């Protein structure tokens, strides 16, 4: 879970996820969308893979990356506990009687 938050803590990596919503792409196609070197993008892809937010399949010379939604589902579950609905309507009164 730590790896997931780490992976999401970068705009470029979040943008990569958005790119992959439509279709699977190769490492090179992903890199074309950014003004960073290919090794930099490769590193970002690696972090996203470590977090299991992506999967990759090698086909010939190419490596295709795809979204893996299962981790997002878990993250969603974590987050739900902090929404207004999940929290007690009436919190214990903060008793402060000082001046």
Partner DNA sequence: TTAGTATTTAGATAGTTGTCTAAATATATG
Partner DNA sequence: CATATATTTAGACAACTATCTAAATACTAA
- The nearer residue to a copy of itself, 39 or 99, going by C-beta atoms, is 99
Considering the rule CB under 7 A, would residue 50 count as an interface residue with DNA? no
Question: What distance in Å separates the CA atoms of residue 2 and residue 28, rounded to the nearest whole number?
Answer: 28
Question: What distance in Å separates the CA atoms of residue 26 and residue 16, rounded to the nearest whole number?
Answer: 11
- The nearer residue to a copy of itself, 39 or 86, going by C-beta atoms, is 86
Site string for DNA, 62-91 (x = CB under 7 A): xx----------------------------
Considering the rule CB under 8 A, would residue 89 count as an interface residue with a copy of itself? no
């Amino acid at each position: 879970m730590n790896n997931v938050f780490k992976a999401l803590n970068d705009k470029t990596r979040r943008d990569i996820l958005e790119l992959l919503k439509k279709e699977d792409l190769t490492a090179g196609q992903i890199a074309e969308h950014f003004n960073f070197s290919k090794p930099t993008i490769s590193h970002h892809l690696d972090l996203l893979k470590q977090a299991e937010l992506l999967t990759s399949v090698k086909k010939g010379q190419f490596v295709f990356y795809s979204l893996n939604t299962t981790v997002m589902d878990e993250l969603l579950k974590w987050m739900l506990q902090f929404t207004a609905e999940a929290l007690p309507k009436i919190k214990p009164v903060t008793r402060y009687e000082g001046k």
